């Protein structure tokens, strides 16, 4: 399965003075797969060592952290000689071996010629007891497949060409728009988890069976995340984390009209009703990559963080397919776009997910009085308001209020309408499936 991050891996390979690379991401987003494909395609040899599957590997890092000794013993252990100049070494699930994480310091300093990539879950790396190799590693972050990568997985060359060429045109025809919109409907159901998309594609000749099996995989993924909570956080904390994780979709689905509202703390965990009492589970889920936090700004001025309060924010799931699964939304209604109140929060969830995958490290929204804008982006030296509507009815009272107050040079309205860029006009119309291109 092709991923756009592959180009960044190639850049890392050719960069001067590269350090060991740590590819981070939520579990099951395809870190191991893409690194192994990279190693097999771009290097003479590829050597993968998985610290979760093979616990014996950790013992090779106990005597000392000398890179030459470690590589020699890894070669003996695997039965394959490692060529420092031409091979790729992969430390998979590196969070399971704290000494391996610490050893990256010495691989960077004493063996810079070696191409060394590591894969680790976000929360596992954060909680590792090993000394973190600050300044000694390069980082990349992998998300679920975004909409462009979904088109790549479908092998729909025409839709992919329309998507990629949208930067060069001011509008898309209705037929082109419908082509991409129909693909977006599929993506709403599958989301971007690689195993889900692969299952869907395998059975695609029978749409009913494909969707059923994809949903089964989604359910198993949600269950596996719940099991992970206890592994990394202990029994009591894991119960609280599960409560917050399962509550996020419920609060999203309660947004009947307009924008998604701020996250409410009362009733999520019994006898706990304030931010201070839920901060731990929320931070844990955010660090693990399973939820996306959108801070709410009370003024649209830079720096945005100065106008945000720590306890006022929105929460979204990291994958729209898992959101539908956790809410048990009927797939037939999602496909037909006839799912009533679900439209708004699904659209907003999609945009949050696409922005995060596009590299927007901090997500913000704006609320002042009765006006609210779903997202504010810092683009160049300007703030760009981004209003999100689920369908083709796109009255934008809040956006007009924002423009009257702050006079932005550019504003974006994301909706179900086709692309429409009009020169010298402040408001630009962008379809939902092009959110990542803003």
Residue that wins the pLDDT comparison between 283 and 234: 283
Condensed to tens digits (0 to 9), the pLDDT of residues 277-298 reads 999 999 999 999 999 999 999 9
- The whole-angstrom separation of Cα 80 and Cα 347 is 49
**Residue 340's pLDDT is what?**
43
Number of structural domains found in the chain: 2
Q: Residue 60 is part of a domain; what is its CATH number?
A: 3.40.50.300
137 is a domain residue? yes
195 is a domain residue? yes
Shortest CA distance to 385 belongs to which of 358, 405, 356, 370? Answer: 405
| Helix axes 174-190 and 157-165, enclosed angle (nearest 10) | 110
Condensed to tens digits (0 to 9), the pLDDT of residues 98-157 reads 999 999 999 999 999 999 999 998 776 666 556 677 789 999 999 999 999 999 999 999
Tokens 């909706």 — which residue? 415
42-46, 96-100, 234-238: lowest mean pLDDT where? 234-238
Backbone angles phi, psi at 133, to 5 degrees: -80, 65
- The whole-angstrom separation of Cα 234 and Cα 224 is 15
Q: Helix/strand/coil (H, E, C) string of 392-421?
A: CCCCCHHHHHHHHHHCCCCEEEEECCCCEC
Counting every residue written for the chain, the total comes to 438
**Residue 257's pLDDT is what?**
65
203 is a domain residue? yes
Same domain, 284 and 396: yes
Alpha carbon 260 to its chain centroid, in Å, reads 19
pLDDT band at 341 (very low <50, low <70, confident <90, very high): very low
219 is a domain residue? yes
1 is a domain residue? no
Ordered alpha helix ranges (H), 81-141: 98-110, 122-127
No. of helices (H) and no. of strands (E), the chain? 16, 13
Shortest CA distance to 375 belongs to which of 385, 367, 383? Answer: 385
pLDDT band at 181 (very low <50, low <70, confident <90, very high): very high
Same domain, 204 and 88: no
- Among residues 114, 142, 170, the one where a domain terminates is 142
Is it the case that residue 210 has pLDDT exceeding 70? yes
Q: And the tokens for 197?
A: 């998309």
Tokens 């990559």 — which residue? 289
pLDDT band at 338 (very low <50, low <70, confident <90, very high): very low
**Residue 129's pLDDT is what?**
55
Cis peptide before 4 (omega within 30 of 0): no
Contacts of 303 (CB under 8 A, 6+ apart): none
Indicate the helix (H) or strand (E) that contains 48.
strand 45-50
- The whole-angstrom separation of Cα 292 and Cα 319 is 10
Same domain, 78 and 164: no
Same domain, 102 and 218: no
346 is a domain residue? yes
- The whole-angstrom separation of Cα 145 and Cα 152 is 10
- Among residues 142, 158, 174, the one where a domain terminates is 142
405 is a domain residue? yes
Condensed to tens digits (0 to 9), the pLDDT of residues 21-42 reads 999 999 999 999 999 999 999 9
Find the domain containing 87 and state its range: 6-142
Half-sphere exposure of 92 (CA within 13 A, CB side): 20
- The whole-angstrom separation of Cα 190 and Cα 147 is 11
51 is a domain residue? yes
pLDDT band at 423 (very low <50, low <70, confident <90, very high): confident
Is it the case that residue 339 has pLDDT exceeding 50? no
**Residue 225's pLDDT is what?**
93
- Return the SS3 of 177: helix
Same domain, 98 and 195: no
**Residue 331's pLDDT is what?**
77
CA-to-CA dists, residue 162 to 57, 140, 165, angstroms: 47, 28, 5
- Among residues 84, 107, 142, the one where a domain terminates is 142
CB 363 within 8 A of CB 384: no
CA-to-CA dists, residue 98 to 57, 63, 128, 345, angstroms: 12, 14, 6, 40
Is residue 406 classed exposed, middle or buried when 0-12, 13-18 and 19+ CB atoms within 10 A define those classes? middle
Same domain, 260 and 170: yes
Is it the case that residue 93 has pLDDT exceeding 70? yes
Same domain, 206 and 348: yes
CA-atom Rg of the chain in angstroms: 23
Same domain, 53 and 35: yes
In Å, the largest CA–CA distance within the chain is: 69
53-62, 64-73, 145-154, 324-333: lowest mean pLDDT where? 324-333
Same domain, 134 and 203: no
Same domain, 190 and 305: yes
Same domain, 153 and 239: yes
Average pLDDT score over the chain: 92
Same domain, 179 and 238: yes
């Amino acid at each position: 399965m092709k991923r756009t991050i592959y180009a960044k891996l190639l850049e890392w390979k050719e960069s001067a003075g590269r350090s060991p690379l740590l590819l981070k991401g939520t579990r099951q987003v395809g870190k191991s797969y893409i690194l192994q494909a990279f190693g097999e395609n771009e290097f003479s040899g590829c050597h993968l060592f998985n610290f979760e599957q093979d616990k014996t590997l950790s013992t090779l890092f106990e005597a000392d952290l000398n890179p030459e000794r470690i590589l020699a013993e890894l070669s003996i252990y695997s039965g394959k000689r490692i060529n420092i100049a031409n091979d790729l070494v992969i430390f998979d699930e590196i969070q399971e071996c704290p000494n391996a994480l610490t050893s990256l310091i010495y691989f960077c300093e004493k063996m810079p010629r070696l191409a060394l990539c590591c894969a680790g879950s976000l929360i596992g790396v954060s909680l590792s007891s090993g000394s973190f190799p600050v300044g000694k590693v390069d980082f990349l972050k992998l998300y679920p497949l975004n909409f462009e990568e979904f088109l790549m997985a479908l092998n729909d060359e025409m839709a992919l060409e329309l998507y990629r060429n949208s930067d060069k045109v001011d509008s898309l025809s209705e037929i082109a728009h419908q082509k991409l919109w129909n693909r977006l409907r599929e993506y709403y159901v599958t989301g971007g988890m690689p195993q889900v998309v692969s299952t869907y594609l395998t059975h695609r000749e029978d749409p009913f069976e494909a969707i059923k099996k994809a949903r089964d995989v989604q359910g198993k993924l949600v269950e596996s995340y719940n099991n992970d909570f206890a592994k990394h956080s202990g029994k009591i904390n894991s119960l609280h984390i599960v409560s917050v994780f399962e509550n996020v979709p419920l609060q999203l689905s309660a947004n009947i009209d307009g924008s998604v509202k701020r996250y409410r703390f009362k009733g999520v965990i019994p006898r706990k009703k304030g931010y201070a009492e839920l901060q731990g589970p929320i931070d844990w889920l955010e660090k693990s990559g399973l939820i996306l936090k959108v801070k709410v700004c009370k003024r649209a001025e830079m720096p945005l963080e100065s106008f945000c309060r720590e306890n006022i924010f929105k929460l979204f799931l990291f994958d729209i397919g898992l959101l539908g699964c956790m809410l048990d939304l009927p797939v037939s209604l999602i496909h037909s776009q006839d799912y009533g109140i679900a439209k708004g929060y699904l659209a907003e969830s999609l945009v949050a997910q696409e922005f995060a995958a596009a590299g927007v490290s901090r997500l913000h929204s704006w609320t002042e009085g009765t006006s609210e804008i779903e997202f504010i982006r810092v683009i160049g030296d300007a703030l760009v308001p981004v209003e999100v509507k689920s369908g083709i009815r796109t009255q934008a009272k809040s956006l007009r209020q924002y423009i009257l107050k702050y006079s932005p040079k550019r504003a974006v309205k994301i909706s179900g309408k086709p692309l429409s860029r009009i020169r010298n006009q402040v408001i630009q119309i962008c379809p939902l499936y092009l959110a990542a291109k803003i």
